[in-house]
Chains A and B, each alone.
Chain A
């Protein structure tokens, strides 16, 4: 299955704002994407509560997985998003 491992880039971690941006992007993906930390259970990337419950901080490595048509492209986009500092424009 196509997989991407990426370290969370947002200064404050994958919490409300960065999490929301990520979840909204995942919801638009044509394939079902899961996200997990380490060997923990994969959770749906489009579920805000599930993503928040990961408790991922800046630098935490998360693993994205998806299957089906367009999975690689969707994962590339989401991985790039996670690697960015999504808090950056938050003054």
Chain B
């Protein structure tokens, strides 16, 4: 079974001039591990235009539109850290968690991720992480949802 969080998709010293570039890089990480087709990145940008994916605690969770689901090969996350922060409509974002999900598993995934971020210590550790192992330890609890069927 493939891992939801691929070590190759954890990049902790990223730079982006703006939100759009940050989303492109976050999506590109998902493309590079084969989780999504390149077109998925455009649906992530479309999603962001329709509504911000900033969730608080310096974290944004870019993901595709419903229409982008067919471009998802497997559920996966990418974690990109921007130490210099990226301006997200006035909010400084340090961490982008890119989400690829083709089933309904993303609701549980987002819920579990939100649960982790509600823990202020965990959220701070994630924002300050320089070692992929830290990210894996903190987000390792996130599981691919086994469908109910």
Contacts and interface: CB of A to CB of B under 8 A. Distances in A.
A24 to B, nearest CB: 9
Interface stretch (B3-11, B112-120, B126-134): B112-120
Interface in B44-92: 47, 50-57, 61, 63, 65-67
Contacts, number: 65
Contacts of A55: 107-108, 110-112
A90 to B, nearest CB: 5
Contacts of A16: 47, 51, 53, 55, 61, 63, 110
A70 B16 CA distance: 44
A34 B57 CA distance: 20
Contact of B47 (A14, A17, A52): A17
Interface of A is mostly: loop
A90 B50 contact: yes
Contacts of B108: 55
B24 interface: no
B15 interface: no
Contacts of A49: 55-57, 114, 117-118
Size class of the contact patch on chain B = 20 to 34
A31 to B, nearest CB: 21
Size class of the contact patch on chain A = 20 to 34
Contacts of B118: 49-50, 53
A48 B88 CA distance: 15
Nearest to B99: A16
A17 B55 contact: no
A71 interface: no
A82 to B, nearest CB: 15
B32 interface: no
Given A12-B106, A13-B104, A90-B66, A52 B51 contact: no
Given A49-B55, A52-B55, A53-B115, A12 B50 contact: no
Given A14-B107, A49-B55, 17 more contacts: A12-B66, A12-B104, A16-B61, A16-B63, A20-B52, A20-B53, A47-B56, A48-B55, A48-B114, A49-B57, A52-B113, A52-B114, A55-B111, A55-B112, A87-B66, A90-B47, A91-B67
Interface of B: 47, 50-57, 61, 63, 65-67, 104, 106-108, 110-115, 117-118
